[in-house]
Structure 1
Amino acid sequence: MSARNGIDDFAALLRRHRQAAGLSQEELAEKAGLSSDAVAALERGRRRAPRPLTVRLLATALNLDNAQLAQFIESLRRSPSGYTPQVQGPPLPPDRLIGRSTELAETTALLNHGGVRLVTLTGLGGVGKTRLAVAVATAVRRHFEAGVCWVSLEGSPNGPEVTDAVASAIGLRTASDAAELDALAEHIGGRQMLLVLDNCEHAVETCASLCSTLLQRCPRLTIIATSRELLRVPGEVVRQVQPLAVPPSRAGLEEIREADAVRMFLARAAAHGVHPRDDRLVHVSRACRSVQGIPLALELAAARVNVLTIEQIADELETSSRILAGGSRTAPQRQQTIDAALDWSYNLLSPDEQRFFEGISTFSGGWTLDAAVAVCWPDGSTDASQAAILDLTGRLIDKSLILIERDAAEARYSMFSVIRQYAGRRLDDSGRRAEVEQRHLAYFVALAEQAEAGLGGDTQAGVLDHLDIELDNLRVALGRAIGRERADDAMRLAAALWRYFYLRGHYTEGRDWLESALAISREQPDAVSSVAQAGALRGAGYLAFLQCDYDDAAARLEEALAMYRRSGDALGAALTLRHLGGIARERADYDHAYELHLESLGLYQQRSDPAGVAWARHHLGFVSWLRLDFGRAGEHAGAALAYFQRNGDGEGITWSQISLGVIALYSGDLSTAEQLLHQSLGRAQRLGYREGVGWSLNQLGVVARRQGRLERAIHLLDESLAEHQQLGDKWRAASVLETLAAVAQQHGNAAYAAFLLGAAAAVRETIGAPVPLCERAETDETLAAVAAALGERAFAHAWGAGQATPLHAVADGYPPNTLSTLDTPW
């Protein structure tokens, strides 16, 4: 027996008994139910505190008699069982932790009081998992008697090296035959210890096996793992480490300063000697939003203050992440540029995962599972393709490369912008961009055309919401179709979307897309179907009409009407006639407008189209009340409302309630008018139908003025004016100005009333549309009262000032300073 120490006594005694029994280490291990490495570790003294169960198993396998067993146990008793391993503690943080107070509190509570033994901090590369783990380990270390053991797996790419790294950090001497898990488990034993495994993603299976074994065999062990991928071990509690909070786009100075992402950027910029002034913080905020608060990206962006201004950094980041380089020389290579950080994740993907990762970069604003199948699976949608894409999606979520949104009934997926840009560059490198983007375009053309069919009836609200969600993808698809001069795709997509742009009040955007598509179609006339071209012309014409560009609107609509008639498309012709009737109506050519709507009605009746009939009757009623024919107007509007209510057409119900409300208004029934207009306003707001909102506010303002509730009238009319001005509807904006002038006159501010009347007259002169007949008497009455109150010279001065002021300035509430009486209009 060796005299060096008790540990060697036990090791030597075990070896002597094994040899006396004529057993090899492997044979003894098999008889005892242990691993051969475990026996080897005990004989070499690497395991200094074998558990009593292990000793009994060995004694039984060696057939020791009572005297030998007593000697065996005595040698174990003399061994230093209270040995505390010299563990490697967590690194000292290089700087103060910014933000993370909620994450720190929640994670420490889990470890201290939640009975949790394995917490995985997961998230994309550079999000700050390691930094948070250091803070958590520091905060909870006093609760672990045996201390905190920090294991960096940065340079441990395979299973044996991972195990060796843990053994080394925990103070276990390894032999040439490497340490096994049961050696680690026996070394830790029953000690209360926190083990932190940092950067598990490149050896996730080994780390998962290690954690599972240690947690089963070491009852007082707790583990924190940081990984871009989940371990998927029983008992694992996952905490997704999110980027730092960024300020909203219109945040005030204090809100910008308090945002964690801004605080980190400023701290890192200060390390370079740069301290942005308050007037530069808005650009800091832009930079933080561009990188979405990812800490590594913030660090790398702030490092650029040595060569770029804050404005330049923000401008560059809005279009590219390529300036995110030049990190600390002492940082790991993968944290010195954002691309290096993502290379690390990309290289851990399988070939199928890489192709999928590249393909989903073509989406903008997120995607659904069906969209991913259509774009990333060339063989079409089948049960097998759905299952494959679902599996790939799950794997990339686990690896923190895809985000999932679960708020709606259908899951939606997205990527951080820096990851999407990186994936896009990888797609470029693969040479597959054109084919993948074409599938993206084809999918969203089909989606838009299907949605267009659902924009009438009770599905309208849901379809609009769906298109809202997919708007970024639709815009990207339009841009690709037009940029690559794919005339048919561009025309079909723009034509399918124009009604959505109308209902949501995006008149200018809708016109721009349609005009671009029409320009391409003229260069490639054989590539575009006449149906798509007529639809695009009609849509462009109607949106031009809504912005009171009547000549351009009429030209587009007449061309569309001719195409519909040549092709025998009666329903297309009926709808176009309806739009042409709208132009005549706003130009106060009521007879012609009525004739056009009657012709449209006849076509709808011939084709037995009840929805078209209802809309034609609505517009006949609209023309009727504008020219003071309230009896006929009521008949048409009532019939239209009955149909729209039966079929749940939110847009139609809104317009019918507006018409009936106006009829009640001009008939003197202000209570009924207010009730109907409140209903139309509420419905339009719920639907997100901006034209309906603007009209309802306008007419409610007229009702309030007639009720003598002038302050309420001002509020309603101001809101209506802002809505119509933003939409570009100058015809209705002029009417709102004239009603505001009547309110100003009632307030006794004749100069401001004259200013508003002048502004309205300038708008009407520009668009060539007179005051509607039903509004003319009140406008003339206001004009006469204002002129009498001011006198010729003062009236001319105020009127001229209004005519010279742009509509947007009037809508913003800025009368000219030269009119002292207008400084406080009300």
Structure 2
Amino acid sequence: MPSDGSRRGSDDVQGAGFGGLLRRHRREAGLSQEKLAELAGLSVDAIAALERGRRRAPRAHTLRLLADALRLGDPDRAALTAAARQEADTARPPLRQPPAPISEMIGRTTELTATSRLLGQRITRLLTLTGPGGVGKTRLTLALAGQVADSFPDGVCWVPLAAVTDSAAVAPTVATSIGMHLLESTRLVEEIADQIGRSTMLMVFDNCSHQVTTVSSICAALLEHCPNLSILASSRELLRLPGESVYVVPALSLPHDEDQLASSEAVRLFVERATARGYDPAGQLDQVARVVRRLEGMPLAIELAAARMNVMTIEELASELETSFSILAGGPPTASPRQQSMYGAIEWSHALLTRTEREAFAQLSVFAGGWTLGAAAAVMPGGATRVEALDIIGRLADKSLIRVVRRGGVARYYMLGVIREFAADQLRASGETDAAAARHARYYVELAEESESHLRGPDQGQWLERLEGELSNLRAAMAWALRTGAATEALRLAAGLWLFCYLRGHYAEGSQWLERALQLADSAPPEELADLSTVCAKANLGAGTLAFLQCEYDAATTRLQTALRQYKELDDPAGTALVLQRLGGVARERGDYEAAEDLHCESFDLYESLGDRGGMAWAHNHLGFVAWLRGDLEIGARRCRRARDSFRVVGDGEGLAWSLISLGAIAQYGGELVEAEDLLQESLALSQRLGYREGVAWSMNQLGVIERRRGLTERAVHLLDESLAEHRDLGDRWRSASVLEELAAVAQQRERSEYAAFLLGAADGVREVIGAPVPVIEKADREATRAAVEASLERRAFRAAWSAGRAAPLAAVADGYPPPGAPSTARTRDPL
């Protein structure tokens, strides 16, 4: 005979139904709806919807949660389940459910957390996940729908639109997805809204881009008439509705260093997909990182690249991607065309553009490394205004074909590499590549020339950052000018950038630009260069300066003498004074201090006649530099203090850094180590802030000397190693030799005599190649080190180590101090 509880449960099933049965059990347990929701881990809305019959046929998982929270025995639990099943049989047709993912989603924890908060907590009723094709919008949409499903008592409805090509079919697709039987109707959207009514449900529109206007109209109507409806949309283009929240789906995280290789989402995705194709690249994560960085973390691109691992090595794949993205094809045959290749994904977006948008999209591919609004207006054909450029950029950004980055008060626009390659193909097909590249080059020539007046003075740091941010575009403009033989553009661009190249340490690249531009000018018709006399003089000055900084003294002297003649012919005393300064620098490094002083004094006189306070400060600084190098510390200090005070007034950051370096070196050689450290730390901080690499290298050099004098050899080695790496990368062999001699002193202090002899020999070899002697101020330390080393070693051992150092090119000298016990002469550590 059944128990009372079972009979009562049966009666409830026949009578009040699931909602009434749940309400009775809750009341018998003495629970409010809020308390039951808390115990079951459900929302209060879900409990209310179940009790009132707004939500029918709860899922098995929800039933278990409720039964456990109510502490129901087996009979009551069975009755509750039976009631739910009976209602399921009479419930309205089921909603179309989201498809089951075919593979595990990699990463996206941050994205799921952010979007779940917006939808799950009802912060927004319309959330659009947007981003370019292949970034993983649909995959994230699926995961998000599953994550927030329990927050919607009436369920989640999936509306797939990828295959819907006719806008008239959108509303019927929505109706079918919510289980409506389609009838001929002129008010289908209203009927859909009536069907949803006050249901608390989530409707997911997937792949809206090609039907965005129709989808927007339907969503607006449903949101207005269905107060408990929430909508999640995935689209490359925004719906542009009031109240729309937009989440731009980012690419997968990339590894920034070796420690992050295994944890990078992009690396993990590639490894998993490649392994599934029978190739496990787990032991080659550095190459995997190379691939995913090139693909900028785009999930579809990574999947397509990993699919190639069935017939390629990871090294071959990485090399192939360096030249083209065309290899990114061969997706699953069951996938849509836009998922079978990256070009297919982009083509799908491109087909939705208007003619004007397509033309602008192609033109913007001429930029490398992004662009600003002003640059876009300059490159677009027909002289577009900034407002017109802003409008078209906004439309392309809304369609996820360009990205916007806001930094330092400036908006900057980018294309992903694979999108830019596609756009460049469109530009080539239109025959407009050369014209666009010419407009691009002219814009950057003007930018380079505008920057010159700002690279000395209070705006120096801001303009250095601006040019560094445009370096890829500057390189592209220069490459075009040299490739097409555009002598005027090449010369103006190279001449306008030499000071930037000096300050930011691009010595070799700037030298190459200037030399090739000057060669073009030599072969150009005279009439083409008739108005470029000043530019030619400036280019020779820049070429001579950068050659001098790389210790190519003969080449530097030739270029500087040419510039001197040209400036004198132009009757340009300011240009003449600057050339004299550079010639003075050559004489100084070659050890001809008298000639250097004469040249700097002549430069000072010219600047004084012009009333150029900044130029006079530089002359004082150079004269002070010469003085302390030759051992006249008092004169050097007096000159450099005057320079420092003037540089502070005129706001010349580079000049101030140099005067501080000189004063720090003077204090160091005078035995005032605390004062020296303060001055050099100030110069180091200033140089780092400006990105002035020579200032950084010199500051660390002198700070290393201070620590060596204090006997703090660990700290000295660190600073000197860093200094040597900077000087080596810059190509400054004169200073590299001095740093090697300081490292030799540290090695001797640590009783590493053979290695010290090796370093002394290496420094001597460098000085012989460039033809520059040891500065007078450094001779005493160098000779003391050599004497101590010779006293510690047998003559044969010393000569062997010394000779090995002299024979070793600078690039083969050990990078850093060798560990104790390592062979001193036979082996070195990582090459420079």
TM-score normalised per structure 1: 0.86
Alignment of 1:405-416 (within 5 A): 405-416=405-416
Q: What is the distance in 2 between the residues matched to 1:112 and 1:818?
A: 65
Deviation at 1:823, TM superposition (A): 8.5
1:680 aligns with 2:683: yes
Q: What is the distance in 2 between the residues matched to 1:346 and 1:820?
A: 62
Q: What is the distance in 1 between the residues matched to 2:670 and 2:651?
A: 28
Q: Note if contact 2:161-2:170 (Cα within 8 Å) is conserved in structure 1.
A: yes
Q: What is the aligned partner in structure 2 of residue 188 from structure 1?
A: 196
Q: Note if contact 1:163-1:179 (Cα within 8 Å) is conserved in structure 2.
A: no
Q: What is the aligned partner in structure 2 of residue 464 from structure 1?
A: 464
Q: What is the distance in 1 between the residues matched to 2:302 and 2:667?
A: 60
In structure 1, the gaps of 5 or more residues are 1-48, 50-79
Q: What is the distance in 2 between the residues matched to 1:243 and 1:687?
A: 31
Q: What is the distance in 1 between the residues matched to 2:276 and 2:629?
A: 68
Deviation at 1:814, TM superposition (A): 7.2
Q: Note if contact 1:245-1:259 (Cα within 8 Å) is conserved in structure 2.
A: yes
Query: 1:523 is aligned with what amino acid?
Result: S
Query: Once the two structures are superposed, what CA deviation does each residue of 1:408-450 show, in whole Å capped at 9, x if it has no partner?
Result: 2011111111111111111111221111111111111111111
Q: What is the aligned partner in structure 1 of residue 588 from structure 2?
A: 585
- Provide closer, same or farther for how the CA distance between residues 140 and 711 of structure 1 changes in structure 2, counting only shifts above 3 A: closer
Q: What is the aligned partner in structure 2 of residue 206 from structure 1?
A: 214
The one of 251, 259, 264 aligned to 2:258: 251
Deviation at 1:804, TM superposition (A): 2.0
1:148 aligns with 2:177: no
Q: What is the distance in 1 between the residues matched to 2:826 and 2:99?
A: 70
Deviation at 1:544, TM superposition (A): 1.1
Q: What is the distance in 1 between the residues matched to 2:163 and 2:668?
A: 79
Q: What is the distance in 2 between the residues matched to 1:618 and 1:820?
A: 41
Q: Which moved more, 1:164-173 or 1:417-426?
A: 164-173
In structure 2, the gaps of 5 or more residues are 1-53, 55-87
Deviation at 1:822, TM superposition (A): 9.2
Q: What is the aligned partner in structure 1 of residue 265 from structure 2?
A: 260
Q: What is the aligned partner in structure 2 of residue 373 from structure 1?
A: 377
- Provide closer, same or farther for how the CA distance between residues 133 and 665 of structure 1 changes in structure 2, counting only shifts above 3 A: closer
Q: What is the aligned partner in structure 1 of residue 57 from structure 2?
A: none
Q: What is the aligned partner in structure 2 of residue 3 from structure 1?
A: none
Query: Once the two structures are superposed, what CA deviation does each residue of 1:217-236 show, in whole Å capped at 9, x if it has no partner?
Result: 11222211111111112222
Partner of 1:620, secondary structure, is helix
1:772 aligns with 2:775: yes
Q: What is the aligned partner in structure 1 of residue 45 from structure 2?
A: none
Q: Which moved more, 1:645-654 or 1:166-175?
A: 166-175
Q: What is the aligned partner in structure 2 of residue 40 from structure 1?
A: none
Q: Note if contact 2:397-2:404 (Cα within 8 Å) is conserved in structure 1.
A: yes
Alignment of 1:286-325 (within 5 A): 286-325=290-329
Deviation at 1:321, TM superposition (A): 1.0
Q: Which moved more, 1:139-148 or 1:226-235?
A: 139-148
Query: Once the two structures are superposed, what CA deviation does each residue of 1:615-660 show, in whole Å capped at 9, x if it has no partner?
Result: 1121111111112223332232122112101011111111111222
Q: Note if contact 2:203-2:231 (Cα within 8 Å) is conserved in structure 1.
A: yes
Q: What is the distance in 1 between the residues matched to 2:827 and 2:300?
A: 54
- Provide closer, same or farther for how the CA distance between residues 670 and 264 of structure 1 changes in structure 2, counting only shifts above 3 A: closer
Q: Note if contact 2:758-2:825 (Cα within 8 Å) is conserved in structure 1.
A: no
Q: What is the aligned partner in structure 2 of residue 93 from structure 1?
A: 101
Q: Note if contact 2:801-2:825 (Cα within 8 Å) is conserved in structure 1.
A: no
Alignment of 1:117-132 (within 5 A): 117-132=125-140
Q: Which moved more, 1:130-139 or 1:473-482?
A: 130-139
Deviation at 1:821, TM superposition (A): 11
RMSD of aligned alpha carbons: 2.3
Q: What is the distance in 1 between the residues matched to 2:496 and 2:697?
A: 25
Q: What is the aligned partner in structure 1 of residue 444 from structure 2?
A: 444
Partner of 1:133, secondary structure, is helix
Q: Note if contact 1:87-1:147 (Cα within 8 Å) is conserved in structure 2.
A: yes
Partner of 1:568, secondary structure, is coil
Q: Which moved more, 1:263-272 or 1:554-563?
A: 263-272
Alignment of 1:722-761 (within 5 A): 722-761=725-764
Query: Once the two structures are superposed, what CA deviation does each residue of 1:45-97 show, in whole Å capped at 9, x if it has no partner?
Result: xxxx9xxxxxxxxxxxxxxxxxxxxxxxxxxxxxx998523322111222222
The one of 330, 334, 341 aligned to 2:334: 330
Query: 1:600 is aligned with what amino acid?
Result: S
Q: What is the aligned partner in structure 1 of residue 455 from structure 2?
A: 455
Query: 2:304 is aligned with what amino acid?
Result: L
Q: What is the aligned partner in structure 2 of residue 707 from structure 1?
A: 710
Q: What is the aligned partner in structure 2 of residue 12 from structure 1?
A: none
Q: What is the distance in 2 between the residues matched to 1:299 and 1:136?
A: 21
Q: What is the aligned partner in structure 2 of residue 473 from structure 1?
A: 473
Q: Note if contact 2:128-2:232 (Cα within 8 Å) is conserved in structure 1.
A: yes
Deviation at 1:706, TM superposition (A): 2.9
1:648 aligns with 2:655: no
Deviation at 1:159, TM superposition (A): 3.4
Deviation at 1:330, TM superposition (A): 0.8
Query: Once the two structures are superposed, what CA deviation does each residue of 1:163-207 show, in whole Å capped at 9, x if it has no partner?
Result: 111112222222234552111111221222221111111111111
- Provide closer, same or farther for how the CA distance between residues 378 and 584 of structure 1 changes in structure 2, counting only shifts above 3 A: same
Alignment of 1:219-230 (within 5 A): 219-230=227-238
TM-score normalised per structure 2: 0.85
Deviation at 1:533, TM superposition (A): 1.8
Q: Note if contact 1:358-1:423 (Cα within 8 Å) is conserved in structure 2.
A: yes
Q: What is the aligned partner in structure 2 of residue 5 from structure 1?
A: none
Deviation at 1:391, TM superposition (A): 1.4
Query: Once the two structures are superposed, what CA deviation does each residue of 1:337-378 show, in whole Å capped at 9, x if it has no partner?
Result: 211111111111111111111111111111111111111153
Query: 1:588 is aligned with what amino acid?
Result: G
Query: Once the two structures are superposed, what CA deviation does each residue of 1:251-285 show, in whole Å capped at 9, x if it has no partner?
Result: 24xx323222222222322332222250x332222
Identity of aligned residues (%): 51
Paired residues in the alignment total 739
Q: Note if contact 1:167-1:179 (Cα within 8 Å) is conserved in structure 2.
A: no
Q: Note if contact 1:265-1:302 (Cα within 8 Å) is conserved in structure 2.
A: yes
Query: 1:274 is aligned with what amino acid?
Result: Y
Q: What is the distance in 1 between the residues matched to 2:351 and 2:680?
A: 61
- Provide closer, same or farther for how the CA distance between residues 257 and 789 of structure 1 changes in structure 2, counting only shifts above 3 A: closer
